[in-house]
Each structure stands twice: as structure tokens, then as C-alpha cells.
Amino acid sequence: GMASAFINLTFVIGQLGFSGSIVQKKDITEAHLSSIFFLNLGIGALFCLLAWIVSPFLSDFYNEPRVGTIAVVLTFSLAIRLLVVVPRALVYRRMDFRSIFLWEWAGILTDGGVSITAALAGFGPWSLVLGALASSVVTTIITWMLGGWSPHLLFQLGSLRDIAQFSSFYMGYQILLYFAQNLDYLLIGKLFTSADLGVYTLAFRIMDLPRFQLSNILMTVAYPTFIHIKDDIQRTRHVLRLSLM
């Protein structure tokens, strides 16, 4: 839980809001997509290096020696997830909810299966890390298979600047949302023991599961839907009224 809080924040920052821009931009080009992909590739490698550098400080901050090592492994999982930002966003853009369903459930089942198996084998907290890593690998493979896109050898700063304004606002929103949803984990991890954090995390997730699942489904459908109809004011108003009912 302690390491995950740090990793989730770096993943939000690492995307730089480009996933939202891919869905939002009307005239997205191959130069945009490939430039974002190679930028994410570099960011993933940089984050792996930074995690290795700051891992001792994370362990000291939380007074838990395992946190730093776990953070390094989870950062590698993050780097894998950054590789599918573009194909994943393209699937959302074309509203292919069948593909989204397939990779989401494949990731959930892999994470649960590997974590439970590793826990029964006596891996302790590492069972959750192995589950997350296996889930990232499986989800990445399936996303690439279903995404219908592959990168070209293109990297243009001008293409990145073209979508930077919307991406910066989208990333700012994602960072604010992250702290709104995770600040309690950061504080509990610092002020209490890892066991206390584990109990709190499990209890909160069980209580919050219905709201999270419902809001996640609505956001998955609503964002690309509003993007597709944004030029039709009357239809946008109608769909907005329906979503608020």
C-alpha cells in the first residue's frame, strides 16, 4: 500500500495527460501517436532509474525497509503500463467497449490468481507485487493485440506541443483527483504501521467498491461519448441530462 501510493502518482504524472488528448483531439495524426509512444517509453525508463535512486529514501520515510525494493519492482510494472497508453486511448476513442472489458477482466483475474497463489506459497507482501506485475504484462499484451495500432519511427516535438495545452489541463485534473483519493493512504502509511494501512485499505475498498465500479463504468462510457458529440449542442444537452438522472 505504501509503495503503491507512490507508484500510482508517478503513473498519473508519467502519462502527461496525453491519453485524454488522444481521445479528445479530432484530427489526431500518426505523428501525434508515435511521438507520444516514444515519449512514454523514455519516461518509463527514466522513472525506473529514479525509483532505484529514491528507494532508500522511501524506506526511510515510511520506516519500512521493504518499501523501497517493492517500489522499484512496481515502477517496472508502471513502465510496462506506459507502453499501452496510446493503443488503450485509441480503443477508448473508437468506443470499443468489448476490448476494454476483455483486458480489464484479464488483468483482474491475473492479478488475483497470481497474488493468491504467491500468498499461499509464502511470499507475503511480495504476492501483491507479483500479482500487479503479472497483471501489467498480461494487460499490455492483450491491449496491443486488440489496439489495432503499432508505432512508426516518428518523434516530433511540434506534434507534442500541438496537444500540450489540453494535456496539461487533463494531467492537472488527474493529479488533483489522485490526491483527493489517496492522501489518506499517504498519511496513514506515514503515521501508522503497514499492518494498519493494510486493514484500512481493505476496509475502505470493500465499502467503496459499489461506488467505484459504477463511477468507473460511467466515466469509461461518458468521456468518449461526449467527445464524439461535442459539436452537436442539442444532442450533448440531451445526453448530459440523461447522465444526471
In this prediction, residue 244 carries a pLDDT of 62
Task: Give the global pTM.
Answer: 0.74
Average pLDDT, the chain: 79
* Per-residue pLDDT band at 168 (split at 50, 70, 90): confident
| Better-scored residue on pLDDT, 52 or 236 | 52
In this prediction, residue 138 carries a pLDDT of 92
In this prediction, what percent of the chain has a pLDDT beyond 70? 78
Residue 228 pLDDT > 60: yes
Over the stretch 98-143, which tens digit does the pLDDT of each residue have? 888 888 888 888 988 898 898 889 887 788 788 888 988 999 999 9
Residue 34 pLDDT > 90: yes
Q: What is the 3-state secondary structure (H, E, C) of the chain?
A: CHHHHHHHHHHHHHHCCHHHHHHHCCCCCHHHHHHHHHHHHHHHHHHHHHHHHHHHHHHHHHCCHHHHHHHHHHHHHHHHHHCCHHHHHHHHHCCCHHHHHHHHHHHHHHHHHHHHHHHHCCCCCHHHHHHHHHHHHHHHHHHHHHHCCCCCCCCCHHHHHHCHHHHHHHHHHHHHHHHHHHHHHHHHHHHCCHHHHHHHHHHHHHHHHHHHHHHHHHHHHHHHHHHHCCCCHHHHHHHHHHHHC
